[in-house]
Amino acid sequence: MVLILVAACEGGRPATTGENGRLLTLYWEKRQDLRISEISLQPSSPVAGRFAGELTDADGLCTVRYQYNSRPKLDSWAVYCNSGRTANGNFVPLGDGNGSAGWGKDEDGFEVRYAIHDSDGKLRPDLRRWVEQGGPLP
């Protein structure tokens, strides 16, 4: 399990990732835009964890909690922002070094989708399309 810190990128461009850094692509239906942020992986517990950071400019600091579930094999996450915005849903790990993909809804029922890029900073084109457009997870 890892603890993840999220920081918004300046000017819509991905920040440079450090040794434990990853990029995260996020789509929040209410905003109708795609954001790319840098995340920094930190040690955490083997079954659950949390991360905090700037998810989007307007939401300020947000804390995300997540949990790995062995049955059913569908992991869960929830986000709580200082602005009062909340969202929750599920995610699936994409394999060692390949990131993860998550989906859910915010407090108003708007969809939220994200993908954590692989350890090389790349995001498969089909996964990027999924984050932007939804549908079945590739």
Domain count, the chain: 1
**Structural domain includes residue 138:** no
Rounded to an integer, the average pLDDT of 120-136 is: 93
* Amino acid 12: pLDDT: 38
Domain assignment present for 38: yes
Residue 11: the pLDDT is 36
Residue pair 16/7 in contact (Cβ under 8 Å)? The answer is no
Q: Whole-prediction pTM value?
A: 0.74
Smallest CA-to-CA distance from 28 within 81, 93, 66, 97 is with 81
The rounded distance, in Å, linking the Cα atoms of 56 and 110 is 15
Q: Strand pairing partners for 117?
A: none
Whether 103 has a pLDDT exceeding 50, the answer reads yes
Domain housing 108: 2-133
Question: What is the DSSP track for 74-131?
Answer: -EEEEEEETTS-EEEEEEEE-STTS-EEEEEEETTS-EEEEEE--TTS---HHHHHHH
- Where does the pLDDT of residue 1 fall: very low under 50, low under 70, confident under 90, or very high at 90 and above? very low
Assign 115 a pLDDT band (cuts: 50, 70, 90).
very high
pLDDT tens digits, one per residue of 20-69:
677 878 898 887 888 887 766 555 666 655 554 455 556 666 777 777 77
In a domain, 76, yes or no: yes
pLDDT at residue 81, as a whole number: 81
